[in-house]
Amino acid sequence: MKAIIFDLDGVVVDTAKYHYLAWRKLAQELGFTFEKMHNERLKGVSRMRSLEIVLEVGGITGVSEEKKQELAERKNGYYLEMISGINQSEILPGITEFISRKKKAGYKIGLGSASKSGGMILEKLGLAGQFDVIVDGNLVERAKPDPQVFTKAAELLGVPCSQCIVIEDAAAGIDAAIAGGMKCIGVGARDILKKADIVVPDTEALLSI
Ligand code: BG6
Ligand code: MG
């Protein structure tokens, strides 16, 4: 294996909770409560796909494309406001150490995030310099579970997909890694991430791999 490609939200940094809170706020304005139990479905998927899932959970149908754009932008506004002060303290446990160990061991390091704010967040965390390539939602047309975000990172790293390991907290991300012919490590619950090659319960446990 020659490269490690990290998902961002829920792997490098604890932003998954802000995505959830921003969708929850939007749902509240639309007249329903978006519960935590539905949140798993939003992990890893694009902003527009997330909106469709949120509307489906709320039983809201017949929304025009124009209105969907407005709602997605509104949610993103809440999200950006919530993460405006984000800093190194929100990097998930063990990640900084794990990246530096793997760099020393000779692995190339990439980001493969669905989020259009991915690159900006890495900058705010002071981690951008640790990554050899950063592929976020601005550079791809197809969202996870499509493998494009990971295959693009592999291509830019100059490493064949078969020699890349993806680290992911979302089922959609594990599916994307498999579709791209990559190995993958799931971070989180085994029942949700069962298709991964290895599952660790949290980011700190990556240090024992
Ligand atoms: C993924 C998150 O990383 O990015 C999703 O897991 C999110 O929850 C997606 O919807 C898109 O993010 P953004 O910032 O472009 O809306
Ligand atoms: Mg994630």
Q: Is the CB of 114 under 6 A from ligand 1?
A: yes
CA terminus-to-terminus distance, the chain: 14
* Mean per-residue pLDDT, 44-64: 97
Structure confidence at residue 17 (pLDDT): 93
Which residues are found with C-beta within 5 Å of the ion, ligand 2? Answer: 7, 9-10, 169-170
Name the closest-CA residue to atom 1, ligand 1.
Answer: 44
Q: Which of 73, 74, 68, 70 is nearest to 56 (CA)?
A: 68
- Gap between the Cα atoms of 118 and 123, Å rounded: 9
- The average confidence (pLDDT) of the chain is 97
Q: Which of 7, 9, 78 to mutate to test the pocket of ligand 1 (most atoms within 8 A of CB)?
A: 9
Which CATH code for domain 3-13+87-208? 3.40.50.1000
Structure confidence at residue 71 (pLDDT): 98
Structure confidence at residue 30 (pLDDT): 98
User: Catalytic residue numbers?
Assistant: 7, 9
Would you kindly state where each structural domain of the chain is located, as residue ranges? 3-13+87-208, 16-82
Q: Is the CB of 46 under 6 A from ligand 1?
A: yes
* Mean per-residue pLDDT, 163-173: 97
Q: Which of 118, 135, 115 is nearest to 44 (CA)?
A: 115
Task: Kindly indicate whether the domain formed by 16-82 is annotated with CATH number 1.10.150.240.
Answer: yes
Q: Is the CB of 22 under 6 A from ligand 1?
A: no
pTM: 0.96
